[in-house]
Amino acid sequence: MQHLADDLTGCVDSTDLFRSLSELEGEIYREIDNRKTLRFEWKGKGYFVKSHFGVGWGEILKNLVQFRVPVLGASNEWQALRRLKELGVNTMTPVAYVSEGWNPAKIKSCVVTRELENTVSLEDFCSRKMSITLKRKLLEKLAVVSKLLHDNGVNHRDYYICHFLLDIASSKQEVPIVYLIDLHRAQIRSETPLRWRVKDIGALLFSSFHLELTKRDLFRFMKIYSGLPLREILQKEEDFWSAVIERAKRLYLQDKTELPDWISNLQYQRATPGRSNGN
């Protein structure tokens, strides 16, 4: 299977697309095992090509033994990019895709996306001092995106704040524009399993710990993500949100010896909303 948009007309050979894409010259951003990410330019515009050269049976068996779905190539990202476009979630724009071979261990594939210009990762942006208003807007945006994904059967599997890019100019708008990237491990189903919701949201919370979130921040995210009043969330979804918080804490403790007090206290009780307006 292959797709080639007009953007790259004259840049690559459509009759031998994988070879042509995988041999493009440019700046290598990442090269590990049998996968390479490279930035190149064509007609004054930047693009990224991710090339997969076959994962091998060892990688497949390792994932299966661990009850994980192996990523065989660029098809995950290609499908996820198109699905996010359908859902109205801002992400990279794919302009080329090719997959060759039937042996799952030797599938060769590439996906090319347009470069997102004038953006910065939310991890870097949020490390700077910003207003409470902007922090609230970004938190609300992430909650909306998370709900859209999970309510429509998509989970990311690497759902960290660094995988969101902020359109810098939009930080002054009422609704900031953020792009979700790095979709090569994303999964698409008719419905997102509860455990993958927990893993995604737990990872997002963990990667935001450096922002020193408050209970008010957490409650705001919960209300948007669940689409319910806070009182109802704490009655019906207490187990889910407790699991999210505990997963975030476990991720933090993978390379830390103890939790800071503010993280240790990032928990709620059902009685909490009785003293505030949670609707």
Say what the pLDDT of residue 279 is.
Answer: 44
Say what the pLDDT of residue 273 is.
Answer: 43
Mean pLDDT for the chain overall: 92
Please determine, for residue 6, whether its predicted confidence score (pLDDT) is greater than 60. Answer: yes
Please determine, for residue 269, whether its predicted confidence score (pLDDT) is greater than 80. Answer: no
As a whole number, mean pLDDT of residues 209-230 equals 92
Domain-ending residue, one of 71, 97, 114: 114
Q: Are residues 102 and 129 in the same domain?
A: no
Domain count, the chain: 2
Say what the pLDDT of residue 267 is.
Answer: 65
Question: Residue 200 belongs to a domain with what CATH number?
Answer: 1.10.510.10
In sequence order, which ranges of the chain are alpha helices (DSSP H)? 17-22, 56-65, 75-87, 122-125, 132-151, 194-206, 215-226, 230-236, 238-252, 261-264
Please determine, for residue 233, whether its predicted confidence score (pLDDT) is greater than 70. Answer: yes
Question: Residue 89 belongs to a domain with what CATH number?
Answer: 3.30.200
Sequence-distant contacts of 84-91: CB under 8 A, at least 24 apart: 84/149, 84/154, 84/180, 84/183, 87/148, 87/149, 87/152, 87/154, 88/148, 89/145, 89/148, 89/149, 89/180, 90/177, 90/178, 90/179, 90/180, 91/179, 91/180, 91/181, 91/183
Cα angle value 61/64/68 (rounded, 5°) = 135
pLDDT digits (tens, 9 = 90+) for 96-130: 999 999 999 999 999 999 999 999 999 999 988 88
Please determine, for residue 73, whether its predicted confidence score (pLDDT) is greater than 50. Answer: yes
Q: Any residues with CB less than 8 A from the CB of 278 and at least 6 apart, and which?
A: 219, 223, 229, 230, 231, 234
Domain-ending residue, one of 114, 129, 155: 114
The candidate with the shortest Cα–Cα distance to 205, out of 145, 263, 273, 269, is 263
Please determine, for residue 277, whether its predicted confidence score (pLDDT) is greater than 90. Answer: no
Q: Are residues 162 and 269 in the same domain?
A: yes
Q: Are residues 107 and 217 in the same domain?
A: no
Q: Of the listed 158, 167, 200, 217, which one is catalytic?
A: 158
Q: Does the annotation count 261 as an active-site position?
A: no
> Distance between CA 138 and CA 161 in Å, rounded?
11
258 or 176, which is more confident: 176
Domain-ending residue, one of 114, 145, 162: 114
The range of the structural domain enclosing residue 24 comes to 2-114
Q: Are residues 103 and 126 in the same domain?
A: no
Say what the pLDDT of residue 272 is.
Answer: 45
pLDDT digits (tens, 9 = 90+) for 141-170: 999 999 999 999 999 999 999 999 999 999
Please, what's the b/e burial string for 100-123 (b: 16 or more CB within 10 A of its CB; e: otherwise)?
A: beeeeebbbbbbbbeebeebebbb
Please determine, for residue 194, whether its predicted confidence score (pLDDT) is greater than 50. Answer: yes
Q: Any residues with CB less than 8 A from the CB of 66 and at least 6 apart, and which?
A: none
Q: Are residues 203 and 186 in the same domain?
A: yes
Confidence of residue 67 (pLDDT cuts 50, 70, 90): confident
Say what the pLDDT of residue 215 is.
Answer: 87
Please determine, for residue 186, whether its predicted confidence score (pLDDT) is greater than 90. Answer: yes
